[in-house]
Amino acid sequence: MSSSRNLEEYSKVITASDAGDRLNVSSKRLDDGFFELPDGERPREVVAFDAKGELGPWILHLRIRPQGYRKPVISGDWLNFVREKNVQAGDTVVFFKEYYYDQATGREMPMRYKIGVKIEEIELFGKFHAVVR
């Protein structure tokens, strides 16, 4: 028996470079474990599902430089996502990392990523949540 929930979210205001080439990701999101990149695994494939369930999935590649400043970037199907969702510079893209609790093992396990373009934020039970297209 297991149940799923969106546990974490990462949002980024898109730059012209992000919309035209690849998504630059904050290295803090590697440090805090949102995007997991085990040692020696370069690039890592990340499957991102449409947060609205309408398009995708998109196979994204998370890469970092092998030496010096890590500068994480996402490529792969990123530009397909940009085209299909009509992402423009100034838009905010939101990644959700969904987990599930596996009662058999008693552990929380990463399930998948979802991605969308934020159109507004709503407050629910004292927390703000992104509404995506």
Would you list the DSSP string of 10-66?
Answer: EEEEPPHHHHHT-EE--THHHHTTSS---TT--SEEEEEEETTSSS--EEEEEE--S
- pLDDT of 107 reads 80
Q: How far apart are CA 27 and CA 73, in angstroms?
A: 9
Segment 19-78, tens digit of pLDDT: 999 999 988 887 777 877 766 557 888 889 998 888 989 999 998 877 777 788 999 999
pLDDT: which is higher, 125 or 78: 78
Find the CATH number of the domain harbouring 10: 2.40.330.10
Segment 68-118, tens digit of pLDDT: 777 889 999 999 999 999 999 999 999 988 877 778 888 877 678 899 998
- pLDDT of 99 reads 78
Structural domain boundaries enclosing 54: 2-132
For residue 127, the cross-strand partners are 124
pTM of the model: 0.79
Per the structure, how many domains does the chain have? 1
